[in-house]
Amino acid sequence: MIKILITLSVFIFTLSTAIADNHAIRKEGFFSKDFKITKFSTIQDPENKIILINNHGQNSLDGKQQDCTTVDQVRNRVSLVDEEINGKKIMVYNLCAHDIKGDEGGTWWMSKEPYQGKTKLDKRVEQNLELVEKLTSLGVPRKQIFVTGHSCGGLTTLLFFARHPEKAGGGISYMQACFGKLSKKYKVKKLGVEAGLAKFKKKKPAQYDLREKFNNEILTQLKVPLLAFTHPKDTYEGLTSDWLDKIEGMNRIIISEDYKINGKSCSKKGKKKSFPVKDGHEMDQATCFQYYNPKIKEYISSRIK
């Protein structure tokens, strides 16, 4: 018993240290280079600003969560702050959705009944639309506003442009996913995509149907050229993302086949310490991902002309 308690204490201490080092962020606003958050009053000369809206991931399909995001998760977005494209400077707005919950709530993941009402993802799309309208009212040109997001935030990005194609300049999706670790849990690498998703459907029919509904909406309605990043070792949707290639104008980048980019091993970095990447779902958070910054800036440039 003593040994178990000691082990548990060490685990809790290690976890707390990691969280503290990653610096949990609980409020929204504009990021400075040193990760400080400021409000709308920081927008000066709005006509010459490019706004990247950062949509974080979430640890519950439909429920609330404690924190908005962490430093390691936004480091690469923040690396673009103050970069200039066609004479216009980039700003990053961290949009917090941790207090939002869907009409069914977090327990729906265990249900086998069809979803009723608005999901958290639906409400996050509406939240982005409200922010975009706020930014345009402050003088930021609509074409210079970009909706971006990781994981569930990435899926939010895709849904936003399926529903509101003319409301923002463009979007970037990083590791779109919001239905659990499909690739890993349903052994997609071994069984193949169809067989893996068939197991998912048998296990969670209501969740399978909701995923299909969202994906079909994106496939049929999304017309805006977007940039999307995926990774085959992403335990979530890494091996189930080929459907993105069917979307006209979609520029999908498969980051790599391993945990290296341009031959360099990748790690995440909090405020002080570095952490090795152990899941392809985190590759867009690794410092080596900044290798793709020129590609991201090229995409932004193509959309603001």
Residues 55-67 have pLDDT tens digits of 999 988 899 999 8
Q: Is residue 31 part of a domain?
A: no
The predicted structure's pLDDT at residue 21? 55
Low pLDDT (below 70) residues in the chain: 1-22
Considering the chain, what is the average pLDDT of its residues? Answer: 92
Total domains in the fold of the chain: 1
Q: Is residue 238 part of a domain?
A: yes
The predicted structure's pLDDT at residue 13? 32
Residues with Cβ within 8 Å of residue 266, at least 6 apart in sequence: 259, 260, 277, 283, 286, 287, 288, 289
Instruction: List the beta strands (DSSP E) in the chain.
Output: 24-25, 29-31, 37-38, 49-55, 69-70, 84-85, 88-95, 145-150, 170-174, 227-230, 251-254, 260-261, 264-265, 267-269, 274-276
Q: How far apart are the first and last CA of the chain?
A: 66
Q: Which of 119, 72, 65, 75 is nearest to 96 (CA)?
A: 65
* Helix (H) / strand (E) containing 2: helix 2-22
Q: Is residue 4 part of a domain?
A: no
Joined tokens for residue 254: 């498969």
Q: Is residue 167 part of a domain?
A: yes
Which CATH number is 229's domain given?
A: 3.40.50.1820
Q: Is residue 256 part of a domain?
A: yes
SS3 category, 86: coil
Note whether 209 and 197 are within 8 A (CB): no
Residue ranges making up the domain that contains 181:
46-304
Q: Is residue 36 part of a domain?
A: no
Q: Is residue 61 part of a domain?
A: yes
- 35 torsion bin: left (phi>0), alpha (psi -120 to 50), beta (else): left
SS3 labels along 175-232: CCCCCCCHHHHCCHHHHCHHHHHHHHHHHCHHHHHHHHHHHHHHHHHCCCCCEEEECC
Q: Which of 154, 128, 148, 135 is nearest to 230 (CA)?
A: 154
The structure's pTM equals: 0.92
Q: How many CA atoms lie within 13 A of 214 on its CB side?
A: 25
C-alpha 162/C-alpha 235 separation (Å) is 25
Q: CA separation (Å) from 102 to 56, 63, 131, 161, 228?
A: 16, 6, 19, 20, 25
Q: Is residue 73 part of a domain?
A: yes
C-alpha 160/C-alpha 121 separation (Å) is 10
Note whether 54 and 94 are within 8 A (CB): yes
